[in-house]
Structure 1
Amino acid sequence: MVTIRDVARLAGVSVGTVSNVLNKSNKVKPETAKRVMEAVKELNYVPNTIAKSLKTNKSNVVGVLVEDICAFSSSTIIDGICAECDSREYVVNLANLRINTMVNHFSPKTYQTLVENGHFKNAVNSSINALLSARICALIYIGAHPRDISGILPKLNIPVIYAYCYGKNGDCCVNYDDFQGAKLAVEYLIKQGHTKIALISGPLDSVPAQKRLKSYKETLKEYNIPIYEEYIRYGDWGYDYAYRECINLINLPNPPSAIFSMSDVMAYGVIKALNDNGKKVPQDVSVHGFDNIESSWYMNPPLTTVKLPLWEVGNTAAKKVFEILENQGQNQKDILIPCTHIIRNSVNKI
């Protein structure tokens, strides 16, 4: 293994000079610094960040603990974190809990069972210990799905930020604004002339579903539009459920003219059910989704939906880490980032 002494020997300087160059000190003459960097490149020398942090008692490593790196949201959130850390020359050390191998993370009930039996907490503690051994200066915890994860993490002596999930009072959480996102969808449908707007919801024990349902009802009330309970269907975020409930909706004596699905996957089920029952989208029934997953653009018709600010959630979480580190204190104000409306071709004006 190449050491800093090897670099110093090749460059013809002291170890201290190499250290100054690597730390971007202005104490070294430009020609000397150039010689050192040429030696670094020739030897493929990589500084030992852990050894450096032990010596200086400072770390430039941010730990990221992600519940499921395969979840559709995770990679974009991580990219947002990395962008901010890269700009500050910090390293990201990632641990993946692989919750998808343990439980259906979309189900709050099965998730809670996993937490209560202790298996998940053991996995969390093991991953955190591995990250702490890498001398991380802060931790960002990324949920696989927005939910309350109070009590999952042990008490740590470093800043902890929760992204795409909710902690207990006093925790700093960065999320997208479910209420505002649902309002974008319902308000748009209303402005296109729809007053008979059905909702296919996620499970009611889900935090996002609760917030979107509240927004749906309050927005209808704001525009003096009646709320028909038969138009509200509670589900599981899945395609099959949405397919079945869409058929029930269009067979009502007074069927809706528009259906707002709380996920794009459920919207796909709705569109399939409408097509299978001789209904055209959007000519006969308008369909609105939520998430803006990549395939939503390729639907027939392309799906009007709500885009989650996933990259911004990660980037803001990282910015919050550095704000806390630089201010030497914990500013625990939660952050909600607004969603964006993506208008395509699945909603008709009536």
Structure 2
Amino acid sequence: MSYMHVLNGDATLTLFRQSGIPGEVVVCREMMCEGKVKCTNDMAAFFETRSKHLEYHYGIDKQTYFSNVVKELEKLKTAGDYDEIVLWFEFDLFCQINLLFILHYLRTQVIRLPKISLVSIDNHSEVPEFRGLGLLMPYHLPALLQERVTLQEEDLQLAARAWQAYCQGDPPELEAISKQSTPRLPYLGPALVAHLQRLPAVENGLNAIQSYFLRKLSMSSLRWYDLYAQFWEDMKIYGFGDFQLDIYIQRMRSAGMIEQQDVMLSITNLGREVLNNEENFTDYISLKHRWLGGLRLMHSPWRWDGKLKHVVRVE
């Protein structure tokens, strides 16, 4: 048997190599849960649009993106040469959206697809504070490989629907799909709900992450790394790293919601007013270039209703 293993990020790469598991390894270094994605099967057009967006809005060098990210992903085109593709993706939003993309890439770019299997967990008995595969030891991985599940056609179809809805910026469809997870894709539903909670809230325009930061800081000022540590413990469903959280903090500082003094973060009076639903966060920030997948937030009617716990349309 020949295997192609697809890992989500470099955090697991060294661990995987030390495990002794045979096969070719491809590392997905993307963060498809962040920023704009284009709805197309043309990967050249997709990556061109994606690279321009990431360079302009996230400071990710276009040339580095193509050499470090795209070139690695192009190895997937040889997937048909293997007997099985094993996907190693975790339970969180970061991983699940990348998983949807990888499945989309394979289905649209590989003529003869071999069996596709998935290793995906949300806890481990030997790691009490499990947040990802990178926290495991090399000897844990062969056992996980034995527990992998083979994806069926219904799984691939559901993933294709979810990716299309994500790229088309269709929150109601994503909400519907979140209730249809298959037994082999148990984490897709919760991840999609977490994604939808990144929409501005009906009450005050804050999304779930912004609201979490302000609530924590309303109780006391915190060092940024302590705030991040609490976020990773309480909001592990997102799977975000320092880079993404830094962007959130920077934007909230620019909007006047948070102040920073050295490593200390504090909530401002305006931040408290927004948190108390006396002001609306969207009045103090620009949504012009803000995207959630294929949904451009500027002029978007879609909001998250925390009381009803679902997506609503506001005019």
**TM-score, length-normalised on structure 1?**
0.27
**TM-score, length-normalised on structure 2?**
0.29
Which of structures 1 and 2 has the bigger CA Rg?
Answer: 1
